[in-house]
Amino acid sequence: MIAMRWLSSLGVLGLIASCPAVAQDYPSRVVTIVVPNAPGGPSDLFARWIGNLMSKELGQQIIVENVGGASGTIGASRVAQAAPDGIMSLKRFIGHGLSLGKDARRGNNKQRDPKRSGHA
Protein backbone atom coordinates (compact mmCIF):
# COMPACT_ATOMS: atom_id res chain seq x y z
CA MET A 1 0.00 0.00 0.00
CA ILE A 2 2.79 2.41 0.92
CA ALA A 3 4.74 1.43 -2.19
CA MET A 4 1.69 2.18 -4.35
CA ARG A 5 1.31 5.68 -2.83
CA TRP A 6 5.02 6.27 -3.28
CA LEU A 7 4.87 5.31 -6.94
CA SER A 8 1.75 7.42 -7.49
CA SER A 9 3.41 10.44 -5.91
CA LEU A 10 6.51 9.89 -7.97
CA GLY A 11 4.42 9.64 -11.14
CA VAL A 12 2.58 12.90 -10.38
CA LEU A 13 5.87 14.67 -9.69
CA GLY A 14 7.22 13.35 -12.98
CA LEU A 15 4.23 14.73 -14.88
CA ILE A 16 4.59 18.13 -13.22
CA ALA A 17 8.33 18.26 -13.91
CA SER A 18 7.86 17.31 -17.58
CA CYS A 19 5.39 20.15 -18.27
CA PRO A 20 7.13 23.20 -19.71
CA ALA A 21 7.05 26.22 -17.46
CA VAL A 22 5.04 29.05 -18.93
CA ALA A 23 6.58 32.26 -17.68
CA GLN A 24 5.30 35.71 -18.44
CA ASP A 25 7.84 38.04 -19.97
CA TYR A 26 8.67 40.60 -17.32
CA PRO A 27 8.62 43.51 -17.64
CA SER A 28 6.08 43.77 -20.37
CA ARG A 29 5.90 47.57 -20.19
CA VAL A 30 8.28 50.50 -19.85
CA VAL A 31 10.05 50.61 -16.47
CA THR A 32 10.33 53.98 -14.72
CA ILE A 33 13.07 54.86 -12.25
CA VAL A 34 12.10 57.94 -10.20
CA VAL A 35 15.00 60.04 -8.93
CA PRO A 36 13.73 62.55 -6.32
CA ASN A 37 16.54 65.01 -7.07
CA ALA A 38 17.46 67.55 -9.72
CA PRO A 39 18.86 66.24 -13.00
CA GLY A 40 22.63 66.12 -13.43
CA GLY A 41 23.51 65.15 -9.87
CA PRO A 42 25.17 61.94 -8.70
CA SER A 43 21.85 60.15 -8.11
CA ASP A 44 20.62 61.03 -11.58
CA LEU A 45 23.83 59.91 -13.26
CA PHE A 46 23.86 56.65 -11.26
CA ALA A 47 20.19 55.96 -12.08
CA ARG A 48 20.81 56.56 -15.79
CA TRP A 49 23.85 54.25 -15.73
CA ILE A 50 21.87 51.51 -13.95
CA GLY A 51 18.89 52.13 -16.25
CA ASN A 52 21.10 51.61 -19.30
CA LEU A 53 22.43 48.31 -17.92
CA MET A 54 18.91 47.18 -16.98
CA SER A 55 17.61 48.07 -20.43
CA LYS A 56 20.26 45.91 -22.10
CA GLU A 57 19.64 43.01 -19.71
CA LEU A 58 15.82 43.09 -19.76
CA GLY A 59 15.33 44.15 -23.36
CA GLN A 60 12.86 46.80 -22.25
CA GLN A 61 12.95 50.59 -22.27
CA ILE A 62 13.92 52.20 -18.94
CA ILE A 63 12.91 55.81 -18.26
CA VAL A 64 14.69 57.85 -15.59
CA GLU A 65 12.36 60.57 -14.34
CA ASN A 66 13.55 63.36 -12.04
CA VAL A 67 10.85 64.45 -9.57
CA GLY A 68 12.52 66.96 -7.29
CA GLY A 69 11.13 68.88 -4.36
CA ALA A 70 10.44 68.58 -0.63
CA SER A 71 13.75 66.79 -0.01
CA GLY A 72 12.67 63.79 -2.07
CA THR A 73 9.23 63.39 -0.49
CA ILE A 74 7.33 64.19 -3.69
CA GLY A 75 9.18 61.57 -5.72
CA ALA A 76 8.93 58.99 -2.95
CA SER A 77 5.20 59.55 -2.52
CA ARG A 78 4.71 59.23 -6.28
CA VAL A 79 6.34 55.80 -6.24
CA ALA A 80 4.41 54.81 -3.10
CA GLN A 81 1.10 55.68 -4.78
CA ALA A 82 1.94 53.85 -8.03
CA ALA A 83 0.31 50.56 -8.92
CA PRO A 84 2.06 47.65 -7.18
CA ASP A 85 3.16 46.01 -10.42
CA GLY A 86 6.92 46.49 -10.02
CA ILE A 87 7.18 48.79 -13.03
CA MET A 88 8.17 51.91 -11.04
CA SER A 89 11.26 52.12 -8.83
CA LEU A 90 12.74 54.79 -6.56
CA LYS A 91 16.41 55.78 -6.56
CA ARG A 92 17.29 57.79 -3.46
CA PHE A 93 20.21 60.16 -2.99
CA ILE A 94 23.59 58.41 -2.76
CA GLY A 95 25.67 61.40 -1.63
CA HIS A 96 25.14 60.97 2.11
CA GLY A 97 26.50 57.43 2.12
CA LEU A 98 29.50 58.49 0.09
CA SER A 99 30.34 61.47 2.31
CA LEU A 100 29.99 59.48 5.55
CA GLY A 101 32.36 56.83 4.24
CA LYS A 102 34.88 59.46 3.19
CA ASP A 103 34.75 61.23 6.56
CA ALA A 104 34.99 57.97 8.53
CA ARG A 105 38.35 57.20 6.91
CA ARG A 106 39.71 60.54 8.11
CA GLY A 107 38.46 59.99 11.64
CA ASN A 108 35.79 62.67 11.33
CA ASN A 109 32.58 60.96 12.41
CA LYS A 110 29.73 63.42 11.88
CA GLN A 111 27.17 61.05 13.34
CA ARG A 112 28.79 61.06 16.80
CA ASP A 113 30.24 64.57 17.07
CA PRO A 114 27.55 67.28 16.78
CA LYS A 115 30.16 70.09 16.78
CA ARG A 116 31.82 68.79 13.63
CA SER A 117 28.51 68.24 11.84
CA GLY A 118 27.40 71.82 12.43
CA HIS A 119 24.42 70.92 14.63
CA ALA A 120 25.84 72.32 17.88
* Rounded-to-integer distance, Cα 32 and Cα 1, Å: 57
Q: What is the largest CA-CA distance in the chain?
A: 79
Q: Is the pLDDT of residue 22 over 60?
A: no
> All domains of the chain, ordered by start, with CATH?
31-108 (3.40.190.150)
Section 57-75 average pLDDT: 89
3-state secondary structure of 23: coil
Indicate the pLDDT class of residue 34, thresholds 50, 70 and 90.
Answer: very high
